[in-house]
Structure 1
Amino acid sequence: MIRLEALRAFVEVAGHGNIKDAADKLCRTPSALSMTLKQIEDRLGCALFETDRKASLTAMGRFLYDHSILLLRDYDRAMDLVEAQAKARSGKLRLASVPSVAAMLLPQVLQGFLAGRPDVEIDLVDTDSTDVRHLVETGQVDLGLAGLSDEAPGLIAEPLFRDPLLVVCRADSPLSRQAEPLSWPDLAAETMILNEATRALPAPGFQALVAASRFSVRNVTSLIAMVQAGLGVTLLPALATVALPGTLGTRRLADPACLRTVGLYRREGRVLSPVAEAFRSGLGPAARRIAEQLGLEGIE
């Protein structure tokens, strides 16, 4: 077998028409190149150059040269692609995120991450926290951004920021005229529309509302439409209420436990791809900075 570096030496000598210039280009000695050429000729059993001056190729030399050019070109291109993947300059990043983070935080984070990475592809799934964790656990995505949960076996979570859960109601609702913050008894007469963001809220006052609830909606767009239609009120993280329509309003709750902690999930025991690891390592500082700009609490 003829090594790639031997073929590269042969191509340089043939291209320069002499050993000295090729040796200078390859940072090798002329004698080392001469030995390499002899080894190729011995391996093939035929001469590659018409004379010892290496100024012109034999027919076999031309045949080897033409094929070596193609082989080295393809090899160099392949190695460039491999290096780009290894250094996170290319590749596919598969993400899952809750809608509020996907809409309000990820665009700024990805803008910075993709600067200088024109060959990186992003595949983003916008879904609720339960589904985000499932997608990470089953390996369908590399990383997930969702509310933290104690029920996430096999996953590693890195906390990023906290935002309070707010009551979302119609702007003409009596709740909108009450002083903040609201207590749970203030909501006793309201129909609570449940959603994924409230699934793990343990407050006894809230659980009493859950027992009387008639609705559970997972899609945020549908949830907001239900509230607009006057079917009830709901709780949403502050980040999810930034762009509410003017017909809706928000009220704070007095219960200090009404918080969502958002974190980054990855699968335990799995080595991330270089591009996913680069995104993960840079996400924390960027997410905390953006969260604080929005008035939320970043977690170090």
Structure 2
Amino acid sequence: MLSMTGLRTFVAVVETGGIRAAAERLHRTPSAISMTLKQLEKEIGGALFASERKSTLSDLGDRVLDEAQALLAHYDRTSAALHAFVANRVGRCDIASVPSVATTILPQAIVALRRGAPWMDISVRDMDSAGIVDAVEDGAVEIGFGVLHQPRPGLMFEPMLRDRLDLVCRADHPLAEGAEPIAWRQIAPREFITNGSIGLPRLVEAGTLARRSHLEARNVTSILAMVRAGLGVSVLPRLCRTAGDAQIRFLPLEDPAAERTLGCIVAAERLLQPATERLLDAVRAVMAQRADELGYAIAFTAGATTAA
């Protein structure tokens, strides 16, 4: 069995750039770091570095680094959750979420949780769907709220809501003058700001716009700021309207396929912590309450479970 201390030492050496810096991070002596690395290489059965200077990883070291970072992230998160459970009998919840859910749904869900469990530890990471999938897969978070564009082995996806994608432009933009839904051909001549929201495989026209684009942003705030500055138009989920203002218009797209299915992403073989189960129930409740107000369709049934 591989030593967690060995793996943590190896990762520290790679991340800090050397044995001495890793020793300072881990509060150990350089000689102890060197001995731990040698023991880890003996346990694994091969050299992790291409030279004695520990500056370049071997092919084996590259593979071990990826696995070690994922394992340590999962170990640290699980340890924190268990300590939190012992301390408050509720536990800890580590979440990754797309910005639209993080700003509209999660705050209200967390308020509801706090009423019954004020000491629950909650960590929320704001990222795009691609980052969320990686974070759940690597064990950095326990649950993610985002879009799973393609099935991923080892991950499970529960659809939660469907919302339309809208064209986003300045209020004084020529496209904002009409009353009809916007067609892709109307967007094609414009400067386009691409982002992760248009990564759906079925949106061929959007993919063409993305390939021709010279400007990309992943954060909703950044995208809206660029639109506001007149750098171009973009496409965002309708749920993002709450982050807009009087200078920004969200206009419906003509394409019936221009919608996303957003849901929770979890690791298929891991049981959720009690705190995470409670958070998921609270998120479902808030989504059901605000569907009409925020303009999306519910994609789950009452009493749904993550395994459903």
TM-score over 0.5 (shorter chain): yes
Q: Is the 8 A contact 2:149 2:199 kept in 1?
A: no
Deviations 1:222-253 (A, max 9, x none): 21121112111000001112231221111101
Q: 2:222 maps to which residue?
A: 222
**Aligned match of 2:179:** 179
| Letter of the 2:161 counterpart | F
Question: Which structure is larger by alpha-carbon Rg, 1 or 2?
Answer: 1
- Matched pairs, number: 218
Query: Does 2:143 correspond to 1:143?
Result: yes
Aligned to 2:271: 271
1:103-158: CA deviation from partner (whole Å, max 9, x where unpaired)? 01111111112211122111111111111111111111111101232143321111
Alpha-carbon distance in structure 2 between the residues aligned to 1:148 and 1:99? 15
Equivalent residue letter for 2:279: F
CA distance in 1, matches of 2:226, 2:263: 28
Q: Which amino acid aligns with 2:174?
A: P
Matched with 1:253 is 253
What CA distance in whole angstroms lies between the structure 1 residues aligned with 2:230 and 2:162?
29
SS of 2:131's equivalent in the other structure is helix
Q: Is the 8 A contact 1:201 1:258 kept in 2?
A: no
Contact 1:93–1:123 under 8 Å retained in 2: yes
The answer to whether residue 100 in structure 2 is matched with residue 100 in structure 1 is yes
**Structure 1: where are the runs of 5+ without partners?**
1-81
User: CA contact under 8 A between 2:169 and 2:249: conserved in structure 1?
Assistant: yes
CA contact (8 A) 1:193 1:214 kept: yes
Could you tell me which residue of structure 2 aligns to residue 90 of structure 1? 90
Shift of 1:297: 0.6
Flag structure 2 segments of 5+ consecutive residues without an equivalent: 1-81, 301-308
Structure 2 equivalent of residue 192 of structure 1: 192
CA, structure 1 residues 207+116, in 2 after alignment: closer, same or farther (shift >3 Å)? closer
Equivalent-residue separation in structure 1 for 2:206 and 2:135 (angstroms): 29
Q: Does 1:234 align with 2:217?
A: no
Question: Deviation at 1:281?
Answer: 4.0
- Give the counterpart letter for 1:295 in structure 2: G
Question: TM-score, normalized by length of structure 2?
Answer: 0.66
Deviations 1:71-100 (A, max 9, x none): xxxxxxxxxxx9x949x8421111111111
**Helix, strand or coil at the partner of 1:205:** helix
Q: Shift of residue 255 of structure 1?
A: 0.4
Does the CA contact (< 8 Å) of 2:238 and 2:295 recur in 1? Answer: no
For normalisation by structure 1, the TM-score amounts to: 0.68
Contact kept, 8 Å, 1:195 with 1:217, in 2: the verdict is yes
Sort the Cα spacing of 1:89 and 1:115 in 2 relative to 1 into closer, same or farther, 3 A: farther
RMSD: 2.1
* Displacement over 6 Å in runs of 4+: none
